[in-house]
Structure 1
Amino acid sequence: MATHNTQDIRLTPWSPDDLPLLQRSNSPEMTAHVGGPEDEETLLTRQWKYVELSARPATEGRMFRVELAESGEAVGSVGYWPRVWQGEDVYETGYGILPEFQGRGLAVAAIRAAADAARDAGGRRHLHAFPSVDNTASNAVLRKAGFHLLTEVKFEYPPGHWLTSHDWCRDLTRTD
């Protein structure tokens, strides 16, 4: 499987060895805008969904471990997966950078690299993200990564938890 690189980070397809990273990302601080930490059973289910997603053809989505390019240290995750949104086949994206690595531009680099991976996979023209309107940092990341704010929407994530979210979109046919 391809590894996507930028100057500061490297994206590596999610593997069975990445459970500790997922567990570290399951903190109250990291999950404050998406309903809080998940229980262990839900987290293990998510882990295997990520592993399975990364074993499929790239057109069906991909989950990545985000690593520092220089050291290989894991700093977060990013991914994309297919969904139907407002009658259109699109990709959705999600991401998270561990707190001790935030504020360095790594999330912007990771989401740009994931958008490149989704574009390279083909099959969908648009990549959407749905952060809570209250998640100022995540909304800023998307703006800096070349996404365009479309509208405010009600969005269910995780299942059973409704958020007021922004619908951000990036046209994967554009290279800016």
Structure 2
Amino acid sequence: MRTRGIIVGAMPFQTPLTDDVTLRELSKDDAAAMAQAYTRNREHLAPWDPERPEEFYTEEWHKERLWVQVLENSTGRALYTVLESDGEIVGRLNLTDIVHGAFESGHIGYWLDARFIGRGLMTRAIEALAAHARDELGLHRLQAVTLPHNEASQAVLARAGFEKIGFAPTYLKIAGKWQDHVMFQLILHG
């Protein structure tokens, strides 16, 4: 039950995507697994992520910061999730900047472990999160952005029902430079 954006008595969000991968709400105990996932995918994510300080790849860095994301989950301002396989984090899917009232909207961002690409996992994860955002959080709209040359991410969004709505010049600082992004949205209540 949602009351003024705060989730009251809610069970943590969790849904199986396949026999071996589950999408679940982030836990404060995920620091070690998160550091391992980012370290394992450092090269794979570098072209799509902001530049990261060296300490980002340590358990201590994540321990100091995960509690903020867990708190945001509990207040309804965000829903930070992970894709997990055999106790290992193999991706992230985050719903952030949740705004209620007349807007009822949020932004999604995601990445997937290089070993799990091509299985349709992120499409299924986004579809599950969108259904939860609509049915449980009462959101009307989700937004996502990608780099113009990130065709794989754009294909994931298209398969999940997102439509291209615009272009944002120098939108985010990715891989050390301000880069343009293509904007997408998914209307959850048609």
Q: TM (normalized to structure 1)?
A: 0.79
Q: 1:12 to 1:116 in 2, by over 3 A?
A: same
Check if 1:153 corresponds to 2:168.
yes
The structural deviation recorded for 1:171 is 0.7
- Residues 82-120 of structure 1 deviation map (CA, whole Å, 9 limit, x = unaligned): 257xx9552000111100111111111111111122112
> Over aligned residue pairs, what C-alpha RMSD do you find?
2.8
Percent of aligned pairs with the same residue? Answer: 26
After superposition, where does 1:27-106 map in structure 2 within 5 Å? 27-40=42-55, 44=62, 46-57=65-76, 60-68=77-85, 71=86, 73-82=88-97, 88=103, 90-106=105-121
Greater displacement, 40-49 / 116-125: 40-49
Check if 1:163 corresponds to 2:179.
yes
- The aligned residue for residue 32 of structure 2 is 20
2 CA distance for matches of 1:28 and 1:2?
A: 30
Q: Determine if contact 2:34/2:89 at 8 Å carries over to the other structure.
A: no
Partner of 1:146: helix, strand, or coil? coil
The structural deviation recorded for 1:17 is 2.2
- Residues 67-92 of structure 1 deviation map (CA, whole Å, 9 limit, x = unaligned): 34xx56532111202257xx955200
Unaligned regions of 5+ residues in structure 2, if any? 1-11
2 CA distance for matches of 1:35 and 1:172?
A: 29
Unaligned regions of 5+ residues in structure 1, if any? none
Check if 1:140 corresponds to 2:155.
yes
Bigger Rg, which one:
2
Greater displacement, 131-140 / 9-18: 9-18
Greater displacement, 14-23 / 103-112: 14-23
